[in-house]
Amino acid sequence: MQRDVAVRLRDVSKSYGPVKVLDVPSLELARGEIVAVVGENGAGKSTLMGVLSGTVTPTTGTIEIAGKGLAAGRPDHSRELGVALVAQEFPLVGQLSVAENLLLGRRPRQTGSGRLARAVFDKAGTRAEARELLAEVGVTTVDVDRPVERYPVPVRQMIEIAKAWGHRPVVLVLDEPTSSLGPVEAGRVLDLARRHAAAGGAVLFIGHRLDEVRAIADRVIVLRSGRLVADLTPDQATEERMIREMVGAELARADLAPPSSVERATTLSVRALTADGLGPVDLDVRAGEIVGVAGLMGSGRSRLLHTIMGAQPRTGGTVVFDGEDFRPRHPADAVEVGIGMVPEDRKAQSLLPTHSVRWNVTLTTLRRISRRGVLGPKTDKRHAARIVRDLGVRLRTQEQPISDLSGGNQQKAVFGRWLAAEPKLLLLDEPTRGVDVGAKAEIYSLIDDAAEKGLAVLVASSELEELMWICHRIVVMARGRAVADVSRERFAKEVIMTAAAGTQTGPDTRNRGKAST
């Protein structure tokens, strides 16, 4: 039976100067099909996505969407032909409301005719349609009149998905759509992709969570160094096979020994901490200890870290850091005493995208490496070179914009910046979001090594496997409160998810609202 092809690529390539970053001789996506794309950071996934969405102009080749040729480098034409993209760095307008973002670019309602015709923005209709779109993706608690910038990354992710869904596309391109989501919300996104395929649409799913890829894909294509190296059936797409195709060799499991018991001084002690949407929370983190923070979307994971860092004002409670009462007015106060943070949205909260790698990796240590406030260029370059070498950041030159690096290398650069500052406490919010399996193993090793040297680490993540792999303990949050403190010997998805849902009554939650050792 002949396939109803939604997307057809022929001899598509993209080169930047002499470097070819994408080379796909042939690729087809059929209606009703979910095709997953996997590969290491820098493998060409984002370039493929950009070519389909019209944001990247291919050097050679042709692209057809539903039988019609795509005008290269034309995002508007791509949308007209039925391609909707959910990018990892979602392009929402922070100052606009949720409703305005969801219907951005739609034509306003027309009234009158001829010379008396005028455009009217139907606010009530916009609100109603926005609520309907959010409900379709399982989001019912968002105020559509509230500015997008006031919502955390997971909520913004669901808003961007709803926005793409509202275009009723032929081809739905999902780039790491669950990277910032908890298990429940991630499940909703996967169900949405299945619904789209069942209705006759095509889905291109770019993912790093290989268990999700295996759960959803009808086919798995693997990119390595810009080339399509494998096209696998579900039976062929075991995690071992996908990793082998991605890296070109067998990848050994990261040799991270389980953290040993720690008998060291308490670096961070939080008591009855409250803030907007948070608390009360009790929490201790000792020197050399890695403590995880788990919870569903909206549980307060990120709010907890931001409040400790001084990025969100606290309304009550105490924070004792390194034996002293700590009342930050600004994140700079936290940096001054020895607290560093890797936020979940590195583009908006951590990077200077148009500045060089050198500037980005030396930001936290400029005062230390300068002499009487004067920074010599050679000193700066040597310091930056040491950081990128020690962290294994892959780059052409330290003078290139950091935005040119893959997501994994950007994240390693951010880690390098903070580790070079030698903090006493490191706060990590979704530390491997948008990072491939190889870079994840490297980041886990960095965290483990830093803890071995006495660094206290508090890490919030939506990936339970990640927390269970690297942490001594996991504090579980629900509705802004710390509801459980799960010891390593009791690590299990069922235990953590039950606590996150607010229904656990076992021994780990007898002191509900308190999470200390």
The CATH classification number of 5-109+121-247 equals: 3.40.50.300
Whole-number pLDDT of residue 113: 54
> Does 252 or 407 have the greater pLDDT score?
407
79 phi and psi angles, rounded to 5 deg: -65, -40
Indicate the range of 62-66, 245-249, 336-340, 464-468 predicted with least confidence: 245-249
Using pLDDT thresholds of 50, 70 and 90, give the confidence band for residue 263.
Answer: low
State mean pLDDT over 281-307.
90
Confidence (pTM): 0.59
State mean pLDDT over 212-239.
91
Describe the chain by its helix, strand, coil percentages, rounded to 5: 35, 25, 35
State mean pLDDT over 393-419.
80
The CATH classification number of 266-338+423-515 equals: 3.40.50.300
Beta bridge partners of 429: 460
State how far the Cα of 89 lies from the Cα of 310, in Å rounded to an integer: 25
Judge if 5-109+121-247 and 266-338+423-515 fold alike in CATH terms: yes
State mean pLDDT over 244-271.
64
CB burial class (10 A; 0-12, 13-18, 19+) of residue 10? middle
Q: Nearest to residue 92, comparing CAs of 268, 348, 303? A: 348
Q: Do the bridges between strand 171-175 and strand 83-86 make them parallel or antiparallel, or are there none, so unpaired?
A: parallel
State mean pLDDT over 512-517.
38
pLDDT digits (tens, 9 = 90+) for 293-304: 998 767 888 899
Q: Nearest to residue 230, comparing CAs of 424, 36, 47? A: 36
Structure token digits, residue 118: 């005028």
pLDDT of 118 over the 50 cut: no
State how far the Cα of 368 lies from the Cα of 506, in Å rounded to an integer: 49
> Does 18 or 169 have the greater pLDDT score?
169
Whole-number pLDDT of residue 277: 82
Whole-number pLDDT of residue 40: 72
Whole-number pLDDT of residue 364: 67
For the chain, give the mean pLDDT. Answer: 82
State how far the Cα of 53 lies from the Cα of 79, in Å rounded to an integer: 7
Structure token digits, residue 31: 């209606």
Neighbours of 151 (CB within 10 A): 19
Using pLDDT thresholds of 50, 70 and 90, give the confidence band for residue 106.
Answer: low
499 phi and psi angles, rounded to 5 deg: -65, -40
pLDDT digits (tens, 9 = 90+) for 345-380: 776 776 777 777 777 777 666 566 556 555 566 666
Q: Do the bridges between strand 266-275 and strand 68-69 make them parallel or antiparallel, or are there none, so unpaired?
A: unpaired
Whole-number pLDDT of residue 186: 84
Whole-number pLDDT of residue 506: 37
In the chain, where the domains are located:
5-109+121-247, 266-338+423-515, 352-422
